[in-house]
């Protein structure tokens, strides 16, 4: 056999290629980072019959998540442009009980979201907002549904949203 070491090297390469890129990241962070997401529905309270996405433009967008750096970035779904300069980028983490995700924007108010679904085909969270996002309106729980993004924009993390 001309290359007796080759089978051992191939086995070593096969084992190395199955190791996750960020072994210290939580399972939820890795799941979120596996795809680009887009908001597809927003429901108020327990009513899942009426998609209110037009009423809540502040929660609608395309999102990227990086499990290695725990950074996130949001993009405008109409243009594909980053929202990083307007508080649409920062840090994220999941609580130890895996029930909540916190986002801490580089500029803006930190948010706490209750994770409802996180699978390969859906990411849904709920949070409290003023009804219709109008200041002074009564608070309502909204359920924000995301599905994998397959649109025309090739979104990539911008330098302003990159890890310092």
Could you read off the pLDDT of 110-119 as tens digits, one per residue? 999 999 999 9
Q: Reply yes or no on domain 20-153 having CATH 3.40.50.1000.
A: no
Mean pLDDT of the chain: 86
Does residue 93 register a pLDDT over 90?
Answer: yes
Mean pLDDT of 155-159: 86
Measured CA to CA in angstroms, residue 99 lies from 19, 95, 115, 124 at distances of 26, 7, 5, 12
Whether the CB-CB separation of 102 and 108 falls below 8 Å is answered with: no
Does residue 79 register a pLDDT over 70?
Answer: yes
**Nearest-angstrom CA–CA distance, 4 and 1:** 6
- The pTM (predicted TM-score) of the whole model is 0.83
Say what the pLDDT of residue 32 is. Answer: 95
Say what the pLDDT of residue 163 is. Answer: 54
Measured CA to CA in angstroms, residue 57 lies from 36, 41, 136, 140 at distances of 19, 11, 17, 15
Which tops the pLDDT comparison, 14 or 111? Answer: 111
Return the minimum-mean-pLDDT range out of 3-7, 65-69, 122-126: 3-7
């Amino acid at each position: 056999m001309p290359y007796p070491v080759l089978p051992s090297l191939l086995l070593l390469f096969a084992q190395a290629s199955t190791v996750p890129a960020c072994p210290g990241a939580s399972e939820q962070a890795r799941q979120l980072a596996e795809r680009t997401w887009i908001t597809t529905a927003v429901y108020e309270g327990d009513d899942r019959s009426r998609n209110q996405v037009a009423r809540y433009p502040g929660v609608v967008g395309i999102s990227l998540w990086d499990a290695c750096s725990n950074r996130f970035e949001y993009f405008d779904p109409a243009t594909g442009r980053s929202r990083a300069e307007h508080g649409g980028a920062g840090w994220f983490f999941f609580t130890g009980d895996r029930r909540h995700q916190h986002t801490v924007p580089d500029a803006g108010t930190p948010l706490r979201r209750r994770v409802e679904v996180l699978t390969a085909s859906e990411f849904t969270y709920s949070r409290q907002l003023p009804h219709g996002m109008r200041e002074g309106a009564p608070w309502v729980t909204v359920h924000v549904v995301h599905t994998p993004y397959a649109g025309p924009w090739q979104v990539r993390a911008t330098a302003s949203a990159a890890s310092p």
